[in-house]
Amino acid sequence: MNKVIQVEGLTKMFGDFTAVDAITFDVKKGEIFGFLGANGAGKTTAIKMLIGISNPTSGNATVAGFDVLTNPNDIKKNIGYMSQRFALYDDLTVKENITFFGGIYGLSRKRIKEKSEALIKELGLEKVASQLVGSLPLGWKQKLSFSVALIHDPKIVFLDEPTGGVDPITRRQFWEMIYKAANQGTTVFVTTHYMDEAEYCDRVSIMVNGKIEAMDTPKKLKEQFQADSMNDVFLKLARG
Amino acid sequence: MKHIYNELIIKRDSCFRGNVMKTILYIIIKEFKQIFRNKGMLPIIFVLPLLQLVILSNAATFEVKNIKFAYIDNDKSSTSRALIEKFNASTYFDLLTDFPSEAIASSAMLKGEIDVVLEIPRYFERNLQKEKHGTLGVTINAIDGAAAGVENVYITQIIQNYNKNIRTDLAQISDAQIQPITIETIPLFWYNETLNYKTFMVPGIFVLLVTMITLFLSGMNIVREKEIGTLEQINVTPIKKSQFIIGKLFPFWVIGMGLLTVGLLLARLIFNVPMVGSLALMYFYTSIYILVVLGIGLFISNFTDTQQQAMFIAWFFMVIFILMSGLFTPIESMPKWAQIITEFNPIKYYVEVMRMVMLKGSGFMDILPQLIKTLVYAIVMNVLAVWSYKKTN
């Protein structure tokens, strides 16, 4: 039993509107878990509860062994997060962003130096390491965000639509990075709109109007819905 | 599984504790980089306030000068001409105009062309010689009551100096008659012997300068990170609220102290304002005062979603604080309820302390009441700022 995320009946209401409606699922260690759903299905709201920046209305969830309600700060030490919106500092350079977030996570100076050199090399950003992040193309920014989310070697990394607006080649590279992280034992919790990406996941859940309507491996889901691709599965579910 | 995690966390925790200062340092470095990289903000921080100091200190004066003076001489005698000559010689009065009748003078006052009309009646000279007293009519535009009062005093003084036997009849303001002066007072002006207005204004103006810049910068700071989305990224890190707030405050505290230094230098070099008291005391008080302002700024920042909202709220407080600070109007003459409100105005204390220390040379014990109130204020505001900053919604 290597469940790093356990969710039971997690609900978030904004007034009368139920954004997340009693979702229940778990994620195993080292898994790439695809969290799919249409726009407004409640994915981001669910993620925000799991990473401890939004309190659930009801239900339970533990992430990395800690309760989201009582121990959000312990969760934060063990997770990385990359939001839908680019959230590094445009007015700092690549190196400065890495150093800053490394510092915030309490890495030693030596470790930050090693990490930032390794990251910059891996991302092929040597030439622009001293440039302001604001001047980089979106694809590079996204890869940098992902690397920064991994800077403190978290157990779980949450990626909220990491490949939105990114070209197919960069998307491909991005997924290679995700695989690499998963191979090193990091659990990846990823949301996406691209159904071809859903095929890369170990397991996916599909959320419709705040509820999880289906959850299994892509292969089994396709069998269950008698569909050729995840795209068809998604369309069948989302149309109801 | 849970067990292993907990153990790991304990190990990490001790490591985090040692890093408290370091974490704050990383935030401070980042803030400074961002401030000095922002080419649009730097001049706003340093140049605008100094321009403000130079312009306001020279312009914001309560001295009544350049009074537009007119007269109606119905007597046309040597006495009346000599009296008018006295006004002409005074540096307070300008633009002497001769009006043939009161009606024309009234219409000129309606148009705002003149402030004061002196009406010399017929037989003024004859009455003065024969009956040993004369009467003059003075009309003053009293829309600005304070200025009118000052003008009345100037006019009476000139007339009294000319001849103690003349009585002025002040039309329209009141019919109180000024009695011939029998008791002479010799005023002694302490601490600002020459009644130099700048000496009084400069310390107050750079109170504004320090306050405005630090309030606006801190007020906009966290909101800006909310707007660009980086605050969310910070909120998913294990950073403590107090670390974050201290890291955020410190750079602006340094800027505030820098502004004080520049302001003091200018006061000395350009305005020649005397620096009677201890510089160390001024810096000590300011260092606490700035914490109050930064606390207010961050508090505003936490309750707003956009920089625009934060700016409006900061302005709202700023205007009230300035107008009720005793900088432009004395607090003693405000109604009781307003005086109670001023107790919550940090600028009031700073203006008092600055004037006391700079001009009177007041010491630590003299400013202790203001110091204690400011300190309490600083603690309350910063506790509120940390409390109201929510990492979790």
Q: What is the CATH classification number for the domain harbouring B161?
A: 3.40.1710.10
Taking residues B361-384, report their average pLDDT.
92
Question: What pLDDT, on a 0 to 100 scale, did the predictor assign at position B95?
Answer: 65
Contact A105 B33 (CB under 8 A): no
Q: What is the CATH classification number for the domain harbouring A214?
A: 3.40.50.300
Q: Which two tokens stand for residue A57?
A: 């209305």
**Is B132 in the same domain as B45?**
no
Question: What pLDDT, on a 0 to 100 scale, did the predictor assign at position A25?
Answer: 93
Interface of A with B in 167-196 (CB under 8 A): none
**Is B243 in the same domain as B157?**
no
pLDDT bucket at B80, cuts 50 / 70 / 90: confident
End-to-end CA distance of chain A: 34
Residue B84 within a domain: yes
The distance of B254 to chain A (nearest Cα, Å) reads: 21
Beta bridge partners of B137: B119, B169
* Residue matched to tokens 């310390």: B203
Domain that holds residue A206: 3-239
Residue B185 backbone phi and psi in degrees, to 5: -105, 140
Residue B42 within a domain: yes
How many Cβ atoms are within 10 Å of B190's Cβ, its own excluded?
Answer: 8
The answer to whether A47 and A158 are in contact (CB under 8 A) is yes
B324-344 pLDDT per residue, tens: 888 877 888 888 998 898 999
Question: What pLDDT, on a 0 to 100 scale, did the predictor assign at position B191?
Answer: 62
Question: What pLDDT, on a 0 to 100 scale, did the predictor assign at position A158?
Answer: 95
Q: Which two tokens stand for residue B11?
A: 């190990």
pLDDT bucket at B148, cuts 50 / 70 / 90: confident
Query: Count of domains in chain B?
Result: 2
Question: What pLDDT, on a 0 to 100 scale, did the predictor assign at position B140?
Answer: 84
Question: What pLDDT, on a 0 to 100 scale, did the predictor assign at position B58?
Answer: 74
Query: Count of domains in chain A?
Result: 1
Question: What pLDDT, on a 0 to 100 scale, did the predictor assign at position B87?
Answer: 82
In the sheet that holds B93-98, the strands lie side by side as B93-98, B67-73, B116-120, B134-140, B166-171
Beta bridge partners of A214: A206
Domain that holds residue B109: 67-171
**Is B305 in the same domain as B231?**
yes
Q: Which two tokens stand for residue A44?
A: 């981001």
Taking residues B267-296, report their average pLDDT.
89
**Is B325 in the same domain as B357?**
yes
Q: How far is Cα B365 from Cα B371, in angstroms, rounded to an integer? A: 9
Q: How far is Cα A192 from Cα B201, in angstroms, rounded to an integer? A: 62
pLDDT bucket at B133, cuts 50 / 70 / 90: confident
Residue B300 within a domain: yes
Q: How far is Cα A219 from Cα B292, in angstroms, rounded to an integer? A: 61
Residue B8 within a domain: no
Ranges in chain A, pLDDT < 50: none
Q: How far is Cα B4 from Cα B20, in angstroms, rounded to an integer? A: 25
Q: Which two tokens stand for residue B284?
A: 């000590």
Q: Flag whether pLDDT at B173 surpasses 50.
A: no
Q: How far from chain centre, in Å, is Cα B292?
A: 18
- Interface of B to A at Cβ within 8 Å reads 1-2, 5-6, 9, 12, 15-16, 19, 22-23, 25-27, 29-30, 33-34, 37-38, 228-230, 232-239, 391-393
Contact A90/B at CB under 8 A: yes
Contact A87 B233 (CB under 8 A): yes
Taking residues B161-179, report their average pLDDT.
54
Residue B40 backbone phi and psi in degrees, to 5: -80, -30
pTM as predicted: 0.78
* Beta strand spans in chain B (E): 67-73, 93-98, 116-120, 134-140, 166-171
**Is B146 in the same domain as B243?**
no
ipTM of the prediction: 0.91
Q: Find the closest chain A residue to B233 by CA distance.
A: A87
Question: What pLDDT, on a 0 to 100 scale, did the predictor assign at position A78?
Answer: 93
Q: How far is Cα A97 from Cα A105, in angstroms, rounded to an integer? A: 12
pLDDT bucket at B9, cuts 50 / 70 / 90: very low
Mention every residue, 6+ apart, whose C-beta is less than 8 A from residue A124. Answer: none
Mention every residue, 6+ apart, whose C-beta is less than 8 A from residue B40. Answer: none
CA separation, residue B118 to residues A95, B105, B140, B181, B256 (Å): 77, 10, 9, 20, 51
How many Cβ atoms are within 10 Å of B80's Cβ, its own excluded?
Answer: 22
Minimum-distance CB partner of A96 among B1, B16, B33: B33
Question: What pLDDT, on a 0 to 100 scale, did the predictor assign at position B1?
Answer: 43
Give the DSSP H/E element, type plus range, for residue A160. Answer: strand A156-160
B43-79 pLDDT per residue, tens: 877 787 778 777 877 776 666 778 888 888 888 888 8
* Residue matched to tokens 């121990």: A71
**Is B115 in the same domain as B250?**
no
B97: left (phi over 0), alpha (psi -120 to 50) or beta: beta
The answer to whether B377 and B236 are in contact (CB under 8 A) is no
Q: How far is Cα A44 from Cα A48, in angstroms, rounded to an integer? A: 6
User: In percent, how much of chain B has pLDDT > 70?
Assistant: 85
**Is B30 in the same domain as B116?**
no
pLDDT bucket at B14, cuts 50 / 70 / 90: very low
Q: Flag whether pLDDT at B4 surpasses 60.
A: no
Residues in chain B: 393
Q: How far is Cα B51 from Cα B263, in angstroms, rounded to an integer? A: 11
Residue B182 within a domain: no
The answer to whether A209 and A41 are in contact (CB under 8 A) is yes
Question: In terms of DSSP bridges, do strands B134-140 and B166-171 run parallel, antiparallel, or are they unpaired?
Answer: parallel
The distance of A30 to chain B (nearest Cα, Å) reads: 14
Among B208, B203, B383, smallest CA distance to B296 is for B383
Mean pLDDT in chain B? 81
Contact A76 B238 (CB under 8 A): yes
B108-122 pLDDT per residue, tens: 888 888 888 888 888
The distance of B24 to chain A (nearest Cα, Å) reads: 8
Question: What pLDDT, on a 0 to 100 scale, did the predictor assign at position B64?
Answer: 74
The greatest distance separating any two alpha carbons of chain A, rounded to the nearest whole angstrom, comes to 54
